[in-house]
Structure 1
Amino acid sequence: MALAPLALAPLAHAQTTDRVVRSQANAWLVASADLWATPEWGLQTELMYERSDFGAAPQQIEYRLGVQRMLHGGARLAFGGTYVHNSPYGPFPARVAFDEYRAWEQATVDQRVGVVSLSHRYRLEQRWIERPVLGATGQSIGHDASYTMRARYQLKGTVPITPAARAQSLYASGSEEVFLGLGPHTPLNLLDQNRLTLGLGVRWSPAVRSELGYMNQVILRADGRQVEQNHTLVLTLGFTRAAPRR
Structure 2
Amino acid sequence: MNKYLLVLILLFSIPSFAQKQVNTQSGVWLGYFNQTRFTNKWGIWLDLHARRTDFLDRWATQIIRPGLTYFANDHLRFTLGYAYARSYPAAGLFTVRPENRLWQQVLWTSRQKRLQTQQWIRVEERFNRKIANDALRDGYNFNFRFRYLLNLMVPLNRDFIEANTLFFAFNDEIHINAGKQITYNLFDQNRLFFGLGYQFTKGLNLQVGYMNQFQQLPSGNHFNSNHVLRVFAFHNLDFRRKADK
Task: Tell me the TM-score normalized by structure 2.
Answer: 0.88
Tell me how far apart the structure 2 counterparts of residues 204 and 178 of structure 1 sit (CA, whole Å). Answer: 29
Partner of 2:95: 96
Structure 2 SS opposite 1:38: coil
Instruction: Provide, for residues 135-179 of structure 1, a one-character-per-residue CA deviation record: whole Å limited to 9, x for no partner.
Output: xxx6x4733411110100001111101124764210111011100
Partner of 1:176: 172
The structure 1 segments of at least 4 consecutive aligned residues displaced by more than 3 Å after TM superposition are: 1-15, 164-167
CA distance 1:94–1:107, change in 2 (3 Å): farther
Match for 1:64: what amino acid?
A: R
Tell me how far apart the structure 2 counterparts of residues 95 and 223 of structure 1 sit (CA, whole Å). Answer: 22
Q: How does 1:110-121 map to 2 (within 5 A)?
A: 110-112=109-111, 114-121=113-120
Q: How does 1:6-155 map to 2 (within 5 A)?
A: 13-17=15-19, 19-72=20-73, 74-89=75-90, 96-112=95-111, 114-134=113-133, 140=135, 142-155=137-150
* Counterpart check, 1:158 vs 2:157: no
CA distance 1:83–1:52, change in 2 (3 Å): same
Instruction: Provide, for residues 33-90 of structure 1, a one-character-per-residue CA deviation record: whole Å limited to 9, x for no partner.
Output: 1111112111100001000011111100011000001113621100100111000137
Tell me how far apart the structure 2 counterparts of residues 212 and 157 of structure 1 sit (CA, whole Å). Answer: 14
Tell me how far apart the structure 2 counterparts of residues 116 and 156 of structure 1 sit (CA, whole Å). Answer: 10
CA distance 1:184–1:113, change in 2 (3 Å): farther
Tell me how far apart the structure 1 counterparts of residues 139 and 199 of structure 2 sit (CA, whole Å). Answer: 45
Q: Which runs of 5+ in 1 are unaligned?
A: none
Structure 2 SS opposite 1:71: strand
Please say if residues 105 and 121 of structure 2, whose CA atoms lie closer than 8 Å, have aligned partners that are also in contact: yes
CA distance 1:15–1:181, change in 2 (3 Å): closer
> What displacement does 1:242 show?
1.0
Tell me how far apart the structure 1 counterparts of residues 33 and 187 of structure 2 sit (CA, whole Å). Answer: 26
Matched positions, count = 239
Give the root-mean-square deviation of aligned CA atoms: 2.4
Structure 1 SS opposite 2:239: coil
Tell me how far apart the structure 1 counterparts of residues 150 and 192 of structure 2 sit (CA, whole Å). Answer: 10
CA distance 1:203–1:87, change in 2 (3 Å): same
Structure 2 SS opposite 1:16: helix
Tell me how far apart the structure 2 counterparts of residues 183 and 77 of structure 1 sit (CA, whole Å). Answer: 24
Q: Percent identity?
A: 24
Please say if residues 189 and 224 of structure 1, whose CA atoms lie closer than 8 Å, have aligned partners that are also in contact: yes
Instruction: Provide, for residues 114-136 of structure 1, a one-character-per-residue CA deviation record: whole Å limited to 9, x for no partner.
Output: 522121100000000002344xx
Q: Which runs of 5+ in 2 are unaligned?
A: none
Match for 2:155: what amino acid?
A: P
Tell me how far apart the structure 2 counterparts of residues 173 and 16 of structure 1 sit (CA, whole Å). Answer: 33
